[in-house]
Structure 1
Amino acid sequence: MTEDFYCDEVLSGKTTVIKVKETENVMAYFHTKPFYPVHIVVIPKMHISSLITLEVSENDLLMELLTVIKEVAKEVNSKYGACRVITNLGNYQDSKHLHWHVVYGTPLKS
């Protein structure tokens, strides 16, 4: 896997995705290799490596990101009755680009 799948593949257009929501600075789309029956990824369009590397100067972007996450989670929750909102840090974070997962259901078998 590339160090930053989101910049290298998704945002560059090399990997086609099905968008759920998009703003000037944030994109939400269906995961390209879902781990759950409903699996949506929400990313900032600018490179930020992790939740813990966010700068105070990026608070407006964080609020825009959280607004999109909230809207997507609300839609999934409304349709299915539940959802999870997940982000990973450190060694749990495969791609070093801040991203959140909005998921529903039990993990799919690989």
Structure 2
Amino acid sequence: MTNDFYCDEVLSGNTEVDKVHETENVLAYHHTRPAYQVHIVAIPKKHIPSLTKVEEHDLGLFSELMEVVRTVAEKVEDKHGACRVITNLGRYQDSKHLHWHIVSGEKLI
């Protein structure tokens, strides 16, 4: 087990997700186990372990990912009045695949 839910489940098609926004290289979808009233995850379709592991040759993909995060966050902020954009590193990062959480509302868990 690689401890990469996004490659192993989402991108492989093993777990169906409710897509919010998709480009050729990036997917944003409603979290499968939301911790907030609104909880969207944005991921690159290519495996990159974390923010601190983005390499120079991945900067174009990283820019595309950040544009999707910005677009989704803007929609969430417009609809709900506020949002947070979060990424985790090291032991805080459960799935070792670069991802951003776009969240709003009360914490559920």
Mark yes or no: TM-score above 0.5.
Answer: yes
2:97 maps to a residue whose letter is H
Aligned to 1:76: 76
Point out where structure 2 has 5 or more consecutive residues left out of the alignment. none
Aligned to 1:106: 106
Aligned to 2:50: 50
Alignment coverage as a number of residue pairs: 109
* Alpha-carbon RMSD: 1.1
Point out where structure 1 has 5 or more consecutive residues left out of the alignment. none
- Rounded to whole Å, the distance in 2 between the matches of 1:97 and 1:59 is 16
Residue 2 of structure 1, CA deviation: 5.8
Residue 105 of structure 1, CA deviation: 1.1
Q: Percent identity?
A: 64
- Rounded to whole Å, the distance in 2 between the matches of 1:41 and 1:91 is 19
Residue 12 of structure 1, CA deviation: 0.3
What's the secondary structure of 2:36's corresponding residue?
coil
